[in-house]
Amino acid sequence: MAVVQQAYAQWSWPLGAVAADPQLNFFENMVGRDGVSQRAYSMGTLSVHLVNIPLSISFNYPVFLMSFGSNALSNWIGDVQMGLYSMTGSTLSLANSANAAINVSTNGISWVSLVTSATQNISPGNWYFAANILTSGVLPHTSASFFANSSINPGNADPSALMRGRMTASTNAMPASIATSDLDITGSDSNRQPYIILTA
């Protein structure tokens, strides 16, 4: 990274030439984890939210911040899934994905690291992160929750271009494409996004 920065600082390019693209070591969808707190999550209900990637970053280590509750009878067993989507028209298309199969016996707040399905360098611009959490195994399960934003529970749909939403149908995998008409964009849960940090 330092080599890249040094080269970037020392390189003077002619007017009109394309500047070298700096590479980030990390990107957070909620800067400094500001505004996040522990939130329950509906299993199998995929949520999406818009992010602006300011500089390039490798899609290498997506990390979620989760909390696992206390229950001496069982571990929490499940999957945490993430999708990286691009938007064309009114359709989200899956560009990449990541997954973590987890079996947690430790109570408390944990970083959950996902394994990406393919190497990719994410270019600057608008992208959509999708998150889904599934549980399996033998009941009773301990509880699991994301760290995510709060919401005022608006009574009408977000009038912006798609910012956040969640699928109305349950799913156990990241769909290859999602029509925005299949997303609920009204209410508290639809305006919620889990904290995600990407690191190179």
Residues that bind another protein (CB under 8 A): 1-5, 8-9, 19, 22-27, 31-34, 36, 38, 54-55, 60-61, 63, 65, 67, 106-111, 113, 147, 197-200
CB of 150 to another protein, least distance (A): 14
Q: Select 8 or 188, whichever has its Cβ closest to another protein.
A: 8
Residue type, 130: A
Radius of gyration of the chain (CA): 18
CB of 147 to another protein, least distance (A): 7
CB 36 within 8 A of CB 147: yes
Q: Select 27 or 127, whichever has its Cβ closest to another protein.
A: 27
User: 92: buried, middle or exposed (CB in 10 Å: 19+, 13-18, 0-12)?
Assistant: buried
CB of 104 to another protein, least distance (A): 10
Q: Select 23 or 180, whichever has its Cβ closest to another protein.
A: 23
Alpha carbon separation from 35 to 29, 110, 115 (Å, rounded):
11, 18, 26
CA distance 194 to 42: 12
Q: Select 87 or 197, whichever has its Cβ closest to another protein.
A: 197
CB of 178 to another protein, least distance (A): 27
Q: Select 2 or 138, whichever has its Cβ closest to another protein.
A: 2
CB of 30 to another protein, least distance (A): 9
Alpha carbon separation from 117 to 26, 51, 84, 174, 186 (Å, rounded):
19, 20, 11, 12, 31
